[in-house]
Amino acid sequence: MKGYDLFELAVRNLRQSKLRNGLTTIGISVGVASLVAMLSLGVGLQQLATRRLAGSGMFDTVFVTSRQDFRGFDREDDQKAPHPDKAPVLDEPARVKMTQLANVTEVQPEIRVMGEVMSGGETHFGFVTGLPMSARENEAFDTLKGKFFSSDNADEAILLLDFAKELNPKNPSELIGQDISLRYGERQALTQDSSDRPQLTGGESNAIAAGDDFGFSVVRKQQKLRVIGLIDQEPYGGMRTVSRGRIFLPVATTERLNMAQFTDMRSSLRGASGKTYMTLTVRVKDPAKVQGVQDAISQMGFRTFSVLDATKSLRRFFTVLDLFLGIFGSLALAVATLAIINTLVMAVLERRREIGVMKAIGASDGDVKKLFFTEAGAMGFFGGMLGIALGFAIGKAINIGTGIYLVRHQLPAEPVWIMPVWLIGAAIGFSIVVSLLAGLYPASRAAKLDPVQTLKYE
């Protein structure tokens, strides 16, 4: 029998018992809908998490610290490596070396210092953070009011909205374009000539080369800055250090001003090391290359950390989540499969005579089998289509529901349920395959019917 004849007969047979086949088809569609809804929820949640992480600008970043400064939590790791005091320090040559690594786009120091802003006769304390020009891509600047830094070295500041409200409670936006005065501590190197130079023991004095090797003093300074923008949240989500930055300057400006950092205390203890960095942020061209860069920097003897480490377990989590959602979603489809088997077995019993007649007038066993198969497949197809529509409606409802919930909690509404195109195709395909499997038994039962028996009793 030809395909279109098969399909035509199958559809007309299905229409013979509209109620029963309709109910079975709806059963399949509920199964498909629940599977689609569950899997789409998994996909949506995964994309949400990935978007959050990607937006945070962490995916393409490796954080580098010196083993001298931070002892790892992993004792074994430390024991294998040489003694921390022999580990290299994060100084300018190390930074340059990292810049030259393949796939590295920039290496920025992490600068975070205490500062005070004078306003209306009052002082306002806040942490000052240096930001590279590449920070423009960070999601924190999606809602930037005003402008971003005009250059890496400009005397400009972007304020956190909370901080701006402190300075100007009524209308913080007015601050944009105004000048503020930032008070900070400048690190001034002590030279050998300095009157208050420290007493050095003989061995160390030979090692003294230049710069602030003797130590430094912190001198209060003031710098005029033009406020050019306001942001709602801190870029990089405060993941990098405990304190929250509220005043943002271009990173080169902070370096030029030579602001004294807490971490300078560590380097002041260490003789003959010159200026060192506590943390360097290495940005990689492509998240896929992060591992290679991380390995290369580890080879140099530094401690590294990237979100990649965190995403590995995240990905594992979502694989398990998808699996569970899929299993729960499949339960309804499994029940629907039983409904198909039941419906078709009933149909075989009811149509015994008809099957016998068809065989008598020339239908082969294969034709009969294919006919029942096609009926099962058609129910699967229609059930799948209906299920997609139903699943889509459920998903929309989930999105609207969570949207309302998020907005009520002052969070931006985001879709947690995303139905990718591949899932639509896969769901319909899966529904058809499952239906065909369910049709296997009834179809072979129909094909095996003995026409002589079915035609005998009249």
Report in angstroms the alpha-carbon separations of 381 from 15, 168, 424, 430, 435: 15, 64, 12, 9, 8
366 binds other proteins (CB under 8 A): yes
Cite the beta strand spans of 297-390 per DSSP E.
Answer: 303-306
Nearer to other proteins, 385 or 455 (CB): 455
Nearer to other proteins, 180 or 368 (CB): 368
367 binds other proteins (CB under 8 A): yes
Long-range contacts of 454-457 (CB under 8 A, 24+ apart): 454/352, 454/353, 454/355, 454/356, 455/353, 455/356, 455/357, 455/360
455 binds other proteins (CB under 8 A): yes
Task: Restricting to residues 328-357, name those near other proteins by CB under 8 A.
Answer: 353-354, 356-357
Alpha helices in 351-364 (DSSP H): 352-360
Shortest CB 21 distance to other proteins, Å? 13
9 binds other proteins (CB under 8 A): yes
Q: Is the CB of residue 248 less than 8 Å from the CB of residue 69?
A: no
Shortest CB 445 distance to other proteins, Å? 16
Going by the DSSP 8-state scheme, the letter that residue 259 receives in this structure is B
Nearer to other proteins, 207 or 360 (CB): 360
362 binds other proteins (CB under 8 A): yes
Shortest CB 367 distance to other proteins, Å? 6
CA–CA separation, 12 and 98 (whole Å): 72
Amino acid letter for position 352:
R
361 binds other proteins (CB under 8 A): yes
Window 29-68: contact mask with other proteins (x via CB under 8 A) = ----------------------------------------
SS3 211: coil
End-to-end CA distance of the chain: 28
> Of these, 12, 51, 147, 315, which contacts other proteins (CB under 8 A)?
12
- Evaluated on CA atoms 343, 348, 349, 353, the torsion sign reads positive
Shortest CB 354 distance to other proteins, Å? 6
> Of these, 94, 259, 341, 358, which contacts other proteins (CB under 8 A)?
358
Q: Is the CB of residue 157 less than 8 Å from the CB of residue 127?
A: no
Shortest CB 419 distance to other proteins, Å? 38
Q: Which stretch binds other proteins (CB under 8 A): 59-67, 291-299, 359-367, 436-444?
A: 359-367
SS (H, E, C) 46-81: HHHHHHHHHHCCCCCEEEEECCCCCCCCCHHHHHHC
Q: In what order do the strands lie in the sheet with 303-306?
A: 104-109, 279-284, 61-65, 303-306
Report in angstroms the alpha-carbon separations of 306 from 64, 239, 281, 294: 9, 11, 10, 8
Distance of CA 313 to the CA centre of its chain: 12
2 binds other proteins (CB under 8 A): yes
Shortest CB 351 distance to other proteins, Å? 9
Going by the DSSP 8-state scheme, the letter that residue 150 receives in this structure is S
Shortest CB 364 distance to other proteins, Å? 3
Shortest CB 359 distance to other proteins, Å? 7
Shortest CB 11 distance to other proteins, Å? 12
451 binds other proteins (CB under 8 A): yes
If binding means CB under 8 A, how many residues of this protein chain bind other proteins? 24
> Of these, 225, 307, 363, 434, which contacts other proteins (CB under 8 A)?
363
Shortest CB 288 distance to other proteins, Å? 55
Nearer to other proteins, 31 or 451 (CB): 451
1 binds other proteins (CB under 8 A): yes
Phi-psi map region of 115: left, alpha, beta (phi>0 left; psi -120 to 50 alpha): beta
Nearer to other proteins, 303 or 359 (CB): 359
Task: Restricting to residues 134-163, name those near other proteins by CB under 8 A.
Answer: none
SS3 19: helix
Residues of this chain that interact with other proteins (CB under 8 A) are 1-2, 5, 9, 12, 16, 353-354, 356-367, 451-452, 455, 458
